[in-house]
Every structure is written in C-alpha cells, then in structure tokens.
Amino acid sequence: MKTYTKSEFRKVLETKLMNKRTATLEESTDNDIFYAICSILKDEINQAGVDTRHHNIEAKRRQINYLSMEFLIGRLIESNLLNAGLLDVCNEVLTELGRDPKKIYSEENDAGLGNGGLGRLAACFLDSIASLGYMGNGFGIRYRYGLFEQRIVNGTQIELPDNWLQEVYPWETRRIEEAVPVNFGGQVTSEVLEDGNLKFTYSNQETVLAVPYDVGVVGYDNDNVNQLRLWSAELPHDTIDHGDNKNRLEHMQSVERISGFLYPDDSTEEGRFLRLKQQYFLVSSTIQTLINQFKERYQLPVTDFHKYHCIQINDTHPTFGIPELMRILMDEEGLGWDDAWHITTHTFAYTNHTIMQEALEKWPVYQVQNVNPRIFMIINEINERFCKSVYEAHPEMRDKIGDLAVISNNVVHMSKLAIVGSFSVNGVAALHSEIIKDYTFNDFYKLTPEKFNNKTNGITHRRWLMTSNPELSNLISDTIGNNWVKHPQELTQLMHYYNDDAFLDRLAEVKLHNKKALKEVIYNKTGIEVDEHSVFDVQVKRLHEYKRQLLNLLRIIYLYNEIKRKPSIKIQPITFIFGAKAAPGYHIAKEVIKLIHAVANVVNNDTDVDNRIKVVFLENYNVTLAEDIMPAAEISEQISTASMEASGTGNMKMMMNGAITLGTMDGANVEIAELVGKENIFIFGLSSEEVINYQLNGGYRAEDIYKTDSRVKNAMDALINEQFGRNYAFNDLYYHVLTNNDPYFLLKDFNSYVDIHLTAMATYQDKRKWNQMSLTNIMKSGQFSSDRTIQQYATDIWKLN
Ligand code: CRA
C-alpha cells in the first residue's frame, strides 16, 4: 500500500475534504475529517483488495471461508490505519493540525454484529488470516441493528436499538451485481428420471434476494486484503405482489426482517423461526456464491471444490451449510449422493464453543421443514445413512444409535449434524477440547477420534495491544525492538528485564497512566470518582450465571461487612469494575445488574468505607469500551464455574496488558496458569473434574454450606435483609441460588475465592514483585495472539499454503 509523508498525507486529506465534504481543513468538523480519512484508506484498501483477488485467482490458491452469524468488529479506523502503515503519519498530521486523533476516530460507530466472545473471536481471526497472508474471507449477516445499546435507569438495564447504520458505514461496498436468490418454504416434488435418478422440483417458494456488502480486511504490513462479506435481505425487484402498495410495503418489511437484527443472546437457544431463517439465509447465499465463483474463476469441475475450499463453521449456527452444499451439488450440479457427500465432508470443519446444554442448538423438525423442505429431506437422509453405517460398521455402538442420531424426538440436533458432516471438530481451549471428547460428544469421539482436535483461542495483539495500549506497545519496542510485532511469541525477550528496576518502574508508570485515563472515562460516564492508586479489579464480559458475577458481588459484600464490623481495619483500596450486558429475557442476569448497582450505591457512599472500596458499573460494554478498560486492568476476574467457560478471551486481553488473572482452572485460564506458573496467577475453587463429578452425582448440598458456614450465610443473607434494597429487592437471587441447589457452585467456591482475594491484595503490597508478575504475564501472552491460533488452523485443518 502507498506510504505517505506528512505533507503528502495532509495534502490528500485536504483534497478529500474538499471533494467529499466540501470543506476546507479549517472549517471541517471531526466528522468530516473522519470520513475523509476513511476515504483515503478505502482507496488504498480497494486497490490492494483487487490486486489480492487477482493474485489469488491466478495462483488458484486454496481458500478458507469463515462462516459466522456474528462478527463483533467494533471500530475499524485505527486497526485499518495501523495495518495499512498509516497510523503514525495520520496521528502526527492530525496532532499538528491541532486535532485530537482519538476524538476523530471516535466518530466511527462501533459495529456490534455479535454478542460476545464468539463474535469477537471471528473478528480477531479475520485480522490474523489477512495478516498472515492467507486467502480467507468471512461471511456473515449485515444486521440492520446490532447488539442492543445498554442503558441503566435506576440500576435497571434497558435496551435500546443499536442504530449503527444511521450514518453511512464508510468501510462497506454494496455489490448488487453479486446478489443471489435464497429460497424459503414451499413444496418439493420428485420424479424418477430415465437413468433411475431422482429429480427434485421446488414450487411455491418464497425468494429473498441476498445482497452482499463487502468490507475489506486489511493484513498488517503485507498488502493482503481479504473480504468480510455481509449479507442483507431484500425483496427481489421482480416480485409480483397482488394488491396495493401497502401490501408490497408489508411484504418488503417482512423480507428485510431476515437481516433486521442480531439475536441478543449467546447462551440460550433462541427458539424462534426468524433465527432459523437467518441461519439458512447466511449459508445459502454464501455457498451459492462460493460454487459460482469456483466454477467461474478456476474453470475446474465442481468435484474439485473441496480441494480449493474449506468452510469453517463458527459454532453450529451455520450448520445448514452442510445440507445446502449437498443440495446444490445434487440438485443443481447433478452429482449423486456419494460424490456430493465426499465433497461436503471434505469441505466442512466445525468449531464447538460451548458445552452448556441450553446453548447446544436443537430445532423442531417442523420448523426446519418450514424454512426449507428440501434441506430437511437431505438432513433426514444424512441421518438415516449415518445411523445405518453405525449399525453396520460398529455393532458395539448399536445401543447408542438413539443418542447419536441427528434427528430424534422430532428435533434436529445441530451439533450432531455438524460433527457427522465435518472432517474436523475442534474445541477452543485444551481443557474444553478434552471435555468434548470425554463427555459432551464422547460417543462421536469413539466413532471418529481422528476428527477431534483442539485450537486454543487467541486475540489479535494488533488491536488489543498495539492500538489500544500504545504506551505499553512503545515501551516494549523501545526495550526489545519491534520483532514481536510480527512474531508476538518474541515478547518473551522481555524476560531479560525481569530484574531491571528502571524497566519495571516504567511498566508501572504506563499502567498508572492507563488507569488515569480509565478514571476519566469512569468519571465521565458515571460521575464516580475513583482513586487511580487503588487496585483496578475488573470483570467485564456478558452477564451469565456460569460466569458468576454474583460470586464477585458476594465477595464484595463480605469485604464491606468486614469494614462495617471494624471500620479501622487495614485494607488495600480497590476499585471493582464491572461491564456486562444481560440478554433482555434473562431475568436472573438482569437482577444481578440491579444488585451491582445497589451494592455500588451503598458501598460508594458509606463513610465507614471512606472510599477504600468503590464499585463501578460501566454501561454498554462493547469493543470500544473494552479498548479503554483492558490497558488499565490489574486484576482480571475469570471466575467461571470450572468446566463451563469453554475458553474465554477477555482473560487473554487483560493478560497481554499486564493484569494478573484471578480465576478458576477453567477454559484458557488453565493454559495461562501453565505458561506463567502458579506464582504469577491466583487460582481458586473446584476443579472441572470435581464439578463434573458433582454434576454426575446430583450436585452437592448447598443448604448445608449455607447453614453451617457463617461467612457464606452472612453474604447470602445480605440479599434478603434489606441491606441493599427494601421490599425484598433481591429475594429472587437468594431463592434462585438456594432452591436450585446452587448449580454454579457459588457457595462451594466462596471461601476459597475470598481467601485468594486476600492473598492477591497482600501480594500487591510488594510493588516490585507485582510488577514482575505483570511483566511475566505480558511476556508470555504472545502465545495467545490469534496469529498463533490461525497458524494452527491453517496448518492442521485448513491445509493452506
Ligand atoms: N460465549 C464461550 O463461552 C469462548 C467464546 C469463543 C463462547 C467462550 O468461553 O471464549 O465462545 N461460546 O470461543 C459461545 O458463544 C455459542 O457458544 C462465548 O462467547
């Protein structure tokens, strides 16, 4: 991509402002400048994108296609500037012009086309695929409304629509000429042809036009530009509507609803028909396009498709891609079942992201039939052939066929379909991948052990260190040079500074500076004044019972009551920072948000506490806010019930920014602990084995702990004794835990949590030691760059060159 000197950049900025915004530099607003910069960048991205495509087609490169219902990309301006090599020059020019770059970049709307970890992972992966120079495109949905905007009113979450497309989205290009029809519903009939084959004919289907919007994905310093293609649903122009305009308008609206909004739930199956339509819409449009492009560009028989394409499905949401590819290969390309099945099962690879039963997708047969009857026929056939093959080839498994079946009790099990139709099944952290093999999908593992593998998640260090924490990033480069930028594992070079006091002091200074910046953000958003010398203890993630924000609160309540008992007690000042969206229909999660606010209200204003503990809830946690929080975190709360958090990625982001993990042996925490050693992490609580054993044996007796342990009882009773709210405000939480026998083991883990917290606070008193721990975490974090993850996918699963 072109490089610019400062004067050249200023010049092109002026020209863009004049041409696109009819404004001079002097009179232009931040918004004008933002769009002008985007336009400069987009010229570069478009050119490089075309070159990349031509090169790839000419070289007939093998390609990975990442299908995901979610891409939580956040803002792109800084990461695009960085990757295009223009961030420094742009920052300098803006500063010289007396403009604040941060303010200008904040003109961009945060694209929240995802719920949480799974969606953000997809965004980090695209960044790494492009940066490693691979040919790989993302496919998702251009939701008109992304994840809801969270407002807190009197301590209660309310949801506002996320109108991210209100202004022109500068990074996308609409490609109407590449729109494809997607067919829903209708009937299928079959006739026997002369050669004995069946021919299927569809009738009365509803056709929706899938219109692609392409967003360039810029690789770091390598001129490689891939695409994220987001599909939007439209009424085909030639649809004939009988009746009046009002009918037509209604019809149009019902079609557009398909890409209308993201379902704001990443933890439970959203049992609605529309969600199912969204899934089929994504896979049908994408796979039709892949087949069309393959035939047109590579001029090869469709039977070679899998040699040039791999499709990774991000959880089960795009699993209908499997029967859809079968449909196209058989009904449109004329292949027989066996050939189509060979191609399909050599194309698809499935990543599982959760073992939570309620999140394993299951769809009633009649709903799948309604979305597309032909797709259901194919799933049915896949199931019958699969069950038959187990019966014949694995007599020892015959009594398991009922459990293995893709369709049972009139329900389609999406994970089973995904496993049967894929050549690879991976979990997202070592522990999680073992649990999948040993428990969740054990029968499938016995049948096809070779399919199962692990790919521990990662995060792009370009966003989560370089652009969000430039001070730390510069300190690192000043110290060890900048090799680590392209080879993040080289962060380990920092170990030579482990005993270097001057370096440790600079590290601490950077942290303090980032804490001051977050203090500003907190003040501006909440009016709460926090002490930058207190420990910043952070739990930011979606609100879910298994993530145990409630355990964090019970611990805060415990500390508060200790102070009330003895106000002169000596304690390390702490700021507890929360950020979390609750799914709108998730009552208990919303109650926890209320409780955070109630506790904050009491604790922050109690003169006995005297500002030694502060509780802060930052509303509307999203990618942009995370970029402010991660650099300032000192304690990273990763306290899920062991076995339940598949991986976590916030743990990696905070580690990379020098926070110390305080957590359970769950998800990727296990690997963090292995890397940094147990002296550099605070681990507590039940192990995953213990949790699973309890679960298999009907749980433990929560009542008993509650009755016999006074620390537990006092903390729990605070929920019902009006300490934090009148009129039994938190009865629901209290009874929810106790009457359900505490399925997330809050009470069981409470004491070890309180104790490890006290250990952490004692450790904090030794500043030098703490800085060394922080350094150890930073220097080992290269392992969690998504570049490492993608390298493993590319080598082991995708076989990319
Ligand atoms: N909620 C897991 O729970 C994991 C991410 C990305 C999740 C996290 O532990 O880090 O995926 N699972 O792998 C999920 O979305 C449908 O399942 C998540 O984000």
pLDDT at residue number 270: 62
Which residue's alpha carbon is at the smallest distance from atom 15 of ligand 1? 118
CA distance 768 to 784: 25
785 CB contacts (<8 Å, ≥6 apart)? 128, 458, 459, 460, 461, 488, 489
Nearest protein CA to atom 19 of ligand 1, as residue: 117
3-state secondary structure of 72: strand
- Which of 147, 266, 352 is the best mutation target for the ligand 1 pocket, counting ligand atoms within 8 Å of the beta carbon and taking the most? 266
Pair type for strands 682-683 and 660-663: parallel
d(CA 638, ligand 1 centre) in Å: 14
pLDDT band at residue 119 under the 50/70/90 scheme: very high
CA–chain centroid gap for 196, Å, is 48
Name the DSSP letter for residue 19.
Answer: H
Instruction: Give me ligand 1 centre to Cα 779, in Å.
Output: 25
Residue 132 CB neighbour total at 10 angstroms = 19
Instruction: Please provide the size of the chain in residues.
Output: 801
Which residue, judged by its Cα, is nearest atom 6 of ligand 1?
Answer: 118
For residues 703-735, one letter each, b for 16 or more C-beta atoms within 10 angstroms of the residue's C-beta and e for the rest, the string is eebbeeeeebebbbebbbeebbbeeebbebbbe
Q: Which residues line ligand 1 (CB under 6 A)?
A: 116-118, 121, 266, 315, 353-354, 359, 428, 457, 645-649, 667
- Band the pLDDT of 668: cuts 50, 70, 90: very high
H helices of 66-184, in order, are 77-83, 87-96, 101-105, 117-131
Could you tell me the distance, in angstroms and rounded to a whole number, from the CA of residue 52 to the centre of ligand 1? Answer: 32
Choosing from 52, 354, 649, 664, which is the catalytic residue? 649
Tell me the average pLDDT across 710-717.
97
CA of 667 to the centre of ligand 1 (A): 10
CA of 545 to the centre of ligand 1 (A): 14
CA dihedral 786, 788, 790, 796 (to 10 degrees): -150
The atom of ligand 1 lying closest to the CA of 646 is 9
Tell whether the model's pLDDT for residue 234 goes beyond 90: yes
Between the CA of 479 and the centroid of ligand 1 the distance, in Å, is 35
Backbone angles phi, psi at 189, to 5 degrees: -120, 155
What's the CA gap between 259 and 251, in Å, rounded?
14
Active-site residue among 511, 653, 736, 757? 653
Residue 50 CA to residue 596 CA, distance in Å, equals 50
Spatial CB neighbours of 378, under 8 Å, sequence gap ≥ 6? 323, 326, 327
Q: Is residue 577 within 8 Å of 538, Cβ to Cβ?
A: yes
- Whether 649 sits among the annotated catalytic residues: the reply is yes
Q: Which ligand 1 atom lies nearest to the CA of residue 457?
A: 13
DSSP letters for 683-724: E-S--HHHHHHHHHTT---HHHHHHH-HHHHHHHHTTTSSSS
First to last CA, the chain: 23
Q: Are strands 156-160 and 111-113 parallel, antiparallel or unpaired?
A: unpaired
Phi and psi of 208, rounded to 5°?
A: -115, 140
Instruction: Give the integer Cα–Cα distance in Å for 89 and 3.
Output: 9
Which of 120, 142, 277, 353 does the annotation list as catalytic? 353
SS3 of residue 796 by DSSP: helix
How far apart are the CA of 671 and the centre of ligand 1, in A? 16
Q: What kind and span of H or E run contains 786?
A: helix 786-792
Which atom of ligand 1 is the closest one to the Cα of 432? 9
Which residue in the block uniquely carries the two structure tokens 């521990």? 456
Using alpha carbons only, give the angle 547, 551, 553 rounded to the nearest 5 degrees: 115
Most distant pair of Cα atoms in the chain: their distance: 93
Contact indicator for 662, 635 with CB cutoff of 8 Å: yes
Give the position, in ligand 1's atom list, of the atom nearest the Cα of 120. Answer: 6
Residue entry with tokens 């709460």 = 528
Share of the chain above pLDDT 90, in %: 94
Q: Do 667 and 708 form a contact (C-beta atoms < 8 A)?
A: no
CA angle 702, 703, 707 (to 5 degrees): 120
Count of helix runs (H) and strand runs (E) in the chain = 33, 25
Q: In this model, does residue 648 exceed pLDDT 60?
A: yes
Q: Which of 545, 647, 654 should be mutated for ligand 1, with most atoms under 8 A from CB?
A: 647
Structure ipTM over 0.90, yes or no: yes
CA of 352 to the centre of ligand 1 (A): 9
Q: Please tell me whether residue 361 adopts helix, strand or coil conformation.
A: coil
586-643 pLDDT, tens digit per residue, is 999 999 999 999 999 999 999 999 999 999 999 999 999 999 999 999 999 999 999 9
Q: Residue 544 CA: which ligand 1 atom is closest?
A: 1
Residue 18 has pLDDT above 90, yes or no: yes
Atom of ligand 1 nearest to the CA of 649: 10
Q: What is the residue-wise DSSP string for 583-607?
A: PTT-HHHHHHHHHHHHHHHHHHT-T
pLDDT at 736 over 60: yes
Sheet architecture: strand order including 407-408: 362-364, 411-413, 407-408
What's residue 29's pLDDT?
97
Atom of ligand 1 lying closest to residue 648 CA: 10
Tell me: pLDDT of 154 over 90: yes
Res. 475: pLDDT tops 60: yes
Burial class (CB in 10 A: 0-12, 13-18, 19+), 7: exposed
Residue among 62, 541, 581, 614 flagged as catalytic: 541
- Residue 237 tokens read as 């122009």
Which residue owns the Cα nearest ligand 1 atom 14? 353
Q: How far is the CA of 730 from the centre of ligand 1 (A)?
A: 28
Residue 707 above 80 pLDDT? yes
- Rounded to 5 degrees, φ, ψ at 159 are -110, 130
Task: Give the 3-state secondary structure of 374-434.
Answer: HHHHHHHHHHHHHHHHHHHHCHHHHHHHHHHCCEECCEEEHHHHHHHHCCEEEECCHHHHH
pLDDT per residue as tens digits for the range 238-288: 888 777 778 889 999 999 999 999 998 766 666 578 999 999 999 999 999
pLDDT at 457 over 80: yes
- Which of 70, 352, 354, 454 is the pocket-test mutation for ligand 1 (most atoms within 8 Å of CB)? 354
How many CA atoms lie less than 13 Å away from 462 in the CB half-sphere? 29
* Helix 746-764 with 549-565: angle, nearest 10 deg: 60
What is the pLDDT of the chain when averaged over all its residues?
A: 96
Which of 374, 511, 542, 581 is an active site residue? 542
Could you tell me if 547 and 589 are in contact, meaning their C-beta atoms sit under 8 angstroms apart? no
In the DSSP assignment, the letter for residue 287 is: H
Give CA angle at 435 (429, 436), nearest 5°: 90
The pLDDT tens digits for 331-367 are 999 999 999 999 999 999 999 999 998 889 999 999 9
With a CB cutoff of 8 Å and minimum separation 6, the contacts of 164 are 109, 110, 111, 112, 145, 146
pLDDT of residue 269: 62
Q: Which atom of ligand 1 is nearest to the CA of 116?
A: 19
Per-residue pLDDT of 481-534, as tens digits, reads 999 999 999 999 999 999 999 999 999 999 999 999 999 999 999 999 999 999
Residue type for 551, please? Answer: L
CB 776 within 8 A of CB 449: no
Residues 6+ apart with CB under 8 A from 498: 772, 775, 776
Rounded-to-integer distance, Cα 342 and Cα 319, Å:
17
Position 120, amino acid: R
Q: Containing H/E element for 64?
A: strand 63-67
**What is the CA(119)–ligand 1 centre distance, in A?**
8
